Structure formats: structure tokens, C-alpha cells
Amino acid sequence: MSATAREIVSTPDAPAAIGPYSQAVRHGGLLFCSGALPLVPESGELDDASPAAETARCLRNLDAICRAQGTTLAEAVKLTVYTTTLDQFAEINAAYAEFFPAAPPARVTIGVAALPKGARVEIDAIVPVD
């Protein structure tokens, strides 16, 4: 792939985009993953049992996109977590820590007023790829 090529990434193992965006875009040696909602890939329904469950589902969805490009979310260099429930941040953080037990990526967490489909958590990622 040339350094200027831009490749749209899509996999049926993660939920389809719910708007005019791609699941991810690969450019050069980086994979830019769009914000992943806690949607079940097969149904497109919200996996909203708890903020922790939503966090885990978002991370699994991002990992599926990474795996479609021959890498894993464990290789991520930066994630951004958006949440409508900063008061339940400890629960979100615990689920996140389970996914990244060692050497976690850089991260930003932002409290927001609302997310699509009534989700409480959305996460995006930047991941190096070969």
C-alpha cells in the first residue's frame, strides 16, 4: 500500500456503520477506527446491560475490526472513551482494565450529554498495522 493510499475497512464481525462513515480507515501504517458503539454485530441491537457491559462490547467490536486488518486492539496506541455516565466511571474503567491488563494504550475519557442509540459508552481507536 502506498503511503498516500486510503483504504476503507469493513468487517461483518463488527456492527455495520449506522451513518455515513466507515468502520475504520487504514492509511499508511495506521488504522483509524471510528467510534464503536456497544451494538451486537448480528442484530445491531444495543448491548446495554450495564456501563461495564457496554465498554466490553465496544472493545470487542473494535478488536474485530483490528483483526480484519491482521492486528488486535491490544496493539492500539490511543483510545478515546466517550460516556454519558461519568458517575459510573469506575465500572467502565474496570471493564477497560480487564481488556488491557498490561501496557494499556494512551487514553482520553470524555463525558458527553448523549450518544447514538441511547448508548452510555462509545470508544474509538488508533492502531498501528503492518
Q: Cell numbers 481507536 label which residue?
A: 125
In 3D space, the residue among 20, 22, 37, 17 whose CA is nearest the CA of residue 116 turns out to be 37
Give the pLDDT confidence of 100-120 residue by residue, as tens digits: 999 999 999 999 999 999 999
CA distance 109 to 102: 19
**Total-model pTM:** 0.95
Name the pLDDT band for 48 (thresholds 50, 70, 90).
Answer: confident
Give the pLDDT confidence of 91-103 residue by residue, as tens digits: 999 999 999 999 9
CB-based burial label for 106 (10 Å; 0-12, 13-18, 19+): exposed
Domains (ranges, CATH) in the chain? 6-128 (3.30.1330.40)
